[in-house]
Amino acid sequence: MPAPSLWQRLLGPSLTRQVPRDHRQSSAAFRRRQLVTLGFVVLGAGVLAWSLRITPGSNTFYLATILLAMVWAVGGFASGPLHLGRIDTGVSGPEHGTAAGTDDGRDAGPLGRPVVQPLLLGLGLAAVFVVGGLAVHALPFLGFLDDAVARVLAYADRGSTPLLLAVTVVNGVAEEIFFRGAVYAAIPRRPVVWTTLVYVVATLATGNVMLGFAAIVVGAVVALQRRASGGVLAPIITHITWSVVMLYALPAIFVR
- The string of pLDDT tens digits covering residues 152-187 is 666 565 555 788 888 889 999 999 999 999 999 999
CA separation for the pair 71, 78 (Å, rounded): 10
How would residue 209 be classed by pLDDT, with cut points 50, 70 and 90? Answer: confident
Q: If you count them, how many residues does the chain have?
A: 256
CA separation for the pair 56, 158 (Å, rounded): 6
The predicted model gives 106-134 an average pLDDT of 83
Residues 6+ away with beta carbon under 8 Å from 144: none
Residues 15, 76, 179, 91, Cα dihedral to 10°: 0
State whether residue 112 is helix, strand or coil. Answer: strand
The predicted model gives 143-151 an average pLDDT of 62
The predicted model gives 56-64 an average pLDDT of 78
Residues 6+ away with beta carbon under 8 Å from 130: 245, 249, 250, 253
Query: Residue 95: pLDDT above 50?
Result: no
Spans of all domains in the chain: 25-253
% of the chain surpassing 70 pLDDT: 74
The model carries a pTM of: 0.83
Query: Residue 63: pLDDT above 90?
Result: no
Higher per-residue pLDDT: 256 or 183:
183
Alpha-carbon torsion (219, 115, 177, 232), positive or negative = positive
CA separation for the pair 114, 180 (Å, rounded): 15
pLDDT at 193: 96
Cα Dmax for the chain: 59
